[in-house]
Chains A and B, each alone.
Chain A
Amino acid sequence: MTGRGIGASVLRKEDGRFMTGRGSFVADIALPGTLDIAFVRSSSAHARISRVVKPTGAEDRVLAAADLAGLLPMRAPSKLPGYKPSDYPALAIGKVRFVGEPVAACLGASRAEAEDLAQAVEIVYQELPPVVDMLDARAPGAPLVHESWGDNIVLETAVDGDLEAVRAQAAHSVSREVRMSRQAMVPMEMRAVLARWDHRTDQLLVYSSTQVPHLIRAGIARFLELEQRRVRVIAPDVGGGFGLKCYVQPEELVACWCAIHLGRPARWIQDRREHLVADANCREHHYRITAHADAAGRILGVEGEITVDAGAYSIYPFTNCLEAAMAGGNLLGPYAIEAYRVKTWTVATNKPPLVPYRGVARPGVAFAMETLIDAVAREVGREPHEVRIDNMVPPSAMPYTNAARKVFDSGDYPEAVARAAQMIDVAAVRRRQRAGEPDGRLIGVGFGSYTEQTAHGTSVFSSWGVQMVPGYEQAGAKLTPDGGLEIRVGVQSHGQGMETTLAQVACEVLGIDPDRIAVIHGDTGLTPYSTGTYASRSIVMAGGAAARACRALAERMARIGAHLMQCETDDVRVGDGVVAGPAGMVPFSEIGRVWYMNPEELPDDVDMGGVEAVIGYRPDPDHGTFSYATHAAVIRLDPETGAVEVLDYTVVEDCGTMVNPMVVGGQCQGGAAQGIGTALFEESPFDAAGQPLASTFADYHLPGASEVPAIRIEHMITPSPHTEFGIKGVGEGGTIPTPAVIGNAVNDALRPLGAEVAETPITPRRVLAAIAAARGEAA
Chain B
Amino acid sequence: MTKVSLTVNGEPVRAEVEPRTSLADFLRERLRLTGTHLGCEHGVCGACTLSIDGVPMRSCIVYAVSCEGAEVTTIEGFDDDAVMASLREAFTENHGLQCGYCTPGMLVTARDIVTRLPDADERRVRLELAGNLCRCTGYVGIVRAILAVLDRRRAGG
Contacts and interface: CB of A to CB of B under 8 A. Distances in A.
Nearest to A673: B138
Contacts of A669: 137-138, 140-141
B34 A28 contact: yes
A396 interface: no
Interface string B30-44: 001111111111101
Contacts of A272: 39-42, 45
Interface in A676-713: 696-698, 702, 704-706, 708, 710-711
Contacts of B127: 705-706
A16 B133 CA distance: 20
A764 interface: no
A495 B141 CA distance: 14
B34 A19 contact: no
B103 interface: yes
B100 A710 contact: no
A58 interface: no
Contacts of B29: 110
A38 B96 CA distance: 34
Contact of B135 (A24, A238, A242): A242
Contacts of A14: 100
Contact of B101 (A240, A663, A665, A670): A240
B107 interface: yes
B80 to A, nearest CB: 12
B129 A25 contact: no
B23 interface: no
Interface centre among B42, B127, B143 (most CB of A within 10 A): B42
A496 interface: yes
Interface stretch (B61-69, B71-79, B148-156): B71-79
A187 B100 contact: no
Interface string A224-247: 000000000000011110100000
B32 A30 contact: yes
A708 B139 contact: yes
Contact of B95 (A12, A24, A671, A710): A12
A28 to B, nearest CB: 4
A497 B127 CA distance: 28
Interface centre among B20, B25, B95 (most CB of A within 10 A): B95
B47 interface: yes
B102 interface: yes
B99 A704 contact: no
A277 to B, nearest CB: 13
A702 B138 contact: no
B91 A15 contact: yes
Chain A, interface residues (CB within 8 Å), range: 35 or more
B11 interface: no
A670 B107 contact: no
B15 interface: no
B134 interface: yes
Given A189-B99, A495-B136, A697-B40, A19 B88 contact: yes
Contact of A495 (B38, B75, B99, B130): B99
A697 B33 CA distance: 25
Nearest to B77: A21
Contacts of A708: 138-140
Given A27-B38, A240-B99, A710 B140 contact: yes
Contacts of B130: 704-706
Contact of A239 (B36, B76, B93, B100): B100
A188 B45 contact: yes
B95 A665 contact: yes
Nearest to A238: B99
Given A188-B134, A272-B40, A696-B44, A15 B97 contact: yes
Contacts of A159: none
B153 to A, nearest CB: 18
A674 B135 contact: yes
B142 interface: yes
B139 A25 contact: no
A747 B83 CA distance: 46
A14 B20 CA distance: 35
A497 B92 contact: no
B121 interface: no
A735 B143 CA distance: 20
Contacts of A497: 98
Nearest to B45: A697
B33 A21 contact: yes
Given A272-B39, A272-B42, A666-B95, A23 B138 contact: no
Interface string A247-287: 00000000000000000000000011100000000000000
Contacts of A19: 75, 88, 91-92, 97, 100, 103-104, 107
B129 A240 contact: no
B143 to A, nearest CB: 6
Contact of B74 (A21, A112, A190, A494): A21
B122 interface: yes
B100 A23 contact: yes
A662 interface: yes
Interface centre among B74, B129, B139 (most CB of A within 10 A): B139
Contacts of B16: none
A670 B98 contact: yes
Contact of B37 (A16, A17, A25, A186): A25
Contacts of A273: 42
A189 to B, nearest CB: 4
A494 B136 CA distance: 10
- The 6 tightest CB contacts between A and B, nearest first, are A21-B35, A18-B100, A239-B101, A673-B138, A21-B75, A495-B99
30 contacts: A15-B91, A15-B97, A18-B97, A18-B99, A18-B104, A20-B76, A20-B88, A21-B35, A25-B37, A25-B101, A27-B28, A30-B32, A112-B18, A188-B99, A188-B136, A189-B39, A237-B100, A238-B99, A239-B101, A240-B136, A273-B42, A665-B140, A666-B95, A666-B137, A666-B141, A669-B140, A669-B141, A670-B135, A705-B134, A706-B130
